[in-house]
Amino acid sequence: MTLSRRTMIGSTAALTASTLLTQAKTHAADEKTTVNFALVGLGSLSTNQIAPALQKTKHAKLAGIVTGTPEKEKIWADKYSIKSENIYNYENFDKIAANKDIDVVYIVLPNGMHKEFTVRGANAGKHVLCEKPMANSSEDCRAMIEACKKNDRKLAVGYRCQFEPHHLYCRDTVQSGKYGPLHAIEAGFGFKIGDPNQWRLKADLAGGGALMDVGIYALQACRFLTGEEPVAVTAQETKMDPKKFAEVDETITWTMTMPSGVNCYCSTSYAFNGINRFNAYGESGWLGLDPAYSYKGIKGQSKDGPIQFDQIDQFAAEMDAFAQCILEDRQSKVPGEEGLRDLLAIEAIYASIKTGQRTKVQKA
Ligand code: NAD
């Protein structure tokens, strides 16, 4: 067969076009728009908040589970169409390394287990989203950050409020200087805890009591609103039920000084319901949220009137944001270092309670 120059050009063009089409198709298939999550620990938060939120996310998908309770496997698999090969328990969890279908492990276990499962997840090549508080100690936080760094995986902490529109508005308004230089913040979160046998009252699993569990929201609010790290703290604890709170703190009040001079007056408790707020006072105005830290119904007031935005699913926002960080290879705005800084302040608060002294917060 003799080929003319014309047919040669024609067939080369056709070949090039078909190669480009194949390449484009492959590229489109490679260009992921969703990130697959496996939930580690299927307790109350996973069941009632996170899994439902994963039905609303745009970039995060519930694809796997890790549970120590075999009965939950079928219930979750049926409800959320989870493939059997994406189901693990705490013993065989490390085999997730070979599972290309899972991108992220979301650690929703008792606090004292966060470090182990974050490190195992990162060593298995997975990105990690870890619930708050990040770990029982700053030392554990550092080990978690290191493990993710070593494995080139992203690490984020479940600080859902940082994605919530009322919180973002308050932060932006305070930092814009609209109400003049900030002088003081008061912040508190607590609730009356029930079952005396739960893990939240055991030191090894919880790392602490009300402060670690919910006081951390008040601490976060102060750090988020000011964008500053506390220099020093003074703290005291009251224990009205020493039997129930034998291992962990019951009620703590503390003050924190920020580098700019802002004073933060904070409280937390496992003994009663009702505190769920922050107020920030500037030289020429004030604002605040109450309730501030609930899953829904966030409401605010300011010198200029109510603060009102649409309620969002904070967990969906947090997971979509982390998924986008992975898709776009960006660092999360709530990285491991953010969890570490909270633990350093918490450690200073516990140290101050012990010594009765004003205590410096260690630097990250
Ligand atoms: P939970 O007690 O309802 O669930 C804990 C899960 O861990 C259960 O499935 C349990 O079976 C499993 N588990 C494994 N080993 C365990 C052990 N040794 N002891 C007890 N449970 C064990 O707790 P939760 O309320 O779902 O909290 C889980 C994590 O999520 C905690 O770190 C908590 O601080 C955090 N949390 C965050 C928010 C938030 O708003 N971001 C809200 C609630 C809880």
Mean predicted lDDT score pLDDT of the chain:
94
pLDDT for position 23? 53
Largest CA distance in the chain: 99
- Six token digits for residue 260: 């700019």
Gap from CA of 263 to ligand 1 centroid (Å)? 33
Is there a contact between 301 and 288 (Cβ–Cβ < 8 Å)? yes
Count the Cβ atoms, other than its own, within 10 Å of residue 15. 10
Count the Cβ atoms, other than its own, within 10 Å of residue 123. 15
Q: What is the pLDDT of residues 153-212, one digit of tens each?
A: 999 999 999 999 999 999 999 999 999 999 999 999 999 999 999 999 999 999 999 999
45 Cβ below 6 A of ligand 1 = yes
Gap from CA of 364 to ligand 1 centroid (Å)? 27
Gap from CA of 175 to ligand 1 centroid (Å)? 34
Calculate what percentage of the chain has a pLDDT beyond 70. 92
For 74-97, b where at least 16 C-beta lie within 10 A, e where not — what string?
eebeeebebeeebbbebeebeebe
Gap from CA of 47 to ligand 1 centroid (Å)? 10
Helix and strand numbers, DSSP H then E, in the chain: 12, 15
Q: What is the pLDDT of residues 110-120, one digit of tens each?
A: 999 999 999 99
pLDDT for position 31? 78
* Residue among 40, 67, 76, 109 whose CB has most ligand 1 atoms within 8 A, to mutate: 109
Cα 222 to Cα 281: distance, rounded to the nearest angstrom:
12
- Six token digits for residue 287: 């604002």
Cα 183 to Cα 280: distance, rounded to the nearest angstrom:
8
CA-proximal residue: ligand 1, atom 41 (nearest): 158
Whether the predicted pLDDT of 30 surpasses 70: no
Q: Counting atoms of ligand 1 from 1, which one is nearest the CA of 295?
A: 40
pTM: 0.93
Calculate what percentage of the chain has a pLDDT beyond 90. 91
Q: Counting atoms of ligand 1 from 1, which one is nearest the CA of 112?
A: 32
Handedness of CA 349, 351, 357, 360 (dihedral sign): negative
Which residues does the annotation mark as catalytic? 132, 217
Short-list 272, 199, 247, CA closest to 43: 199
Gap from CA of 14 to ligand 1 centroid (Å)? 59
Q: Counting atoms of ligand 1 from 1, which one is nearest the CA of 69?
A: 11
68 Cβ below 6 A of ligand 1 = yes
Confidence grade of residue 18 (pLDDT, cut at 50, 70, 90): low
pLDDT for position 19? 52
Q: What is the pLDDT of residues 265-305, one digit of tens each?
A: 999 999 999 999 999 999 999 999 999 999 999 999 999 99
Q: Counting atoms of ligand 1 from 1, which one is nearest the CA of 202?
A: 19
CA-proximal residue: ligand 1, atom 21 (nearest): 110
Q: What is the pLDDT of residues 54-76, one digit of tens each?
A: 999 999 999 999 999 999 999 99
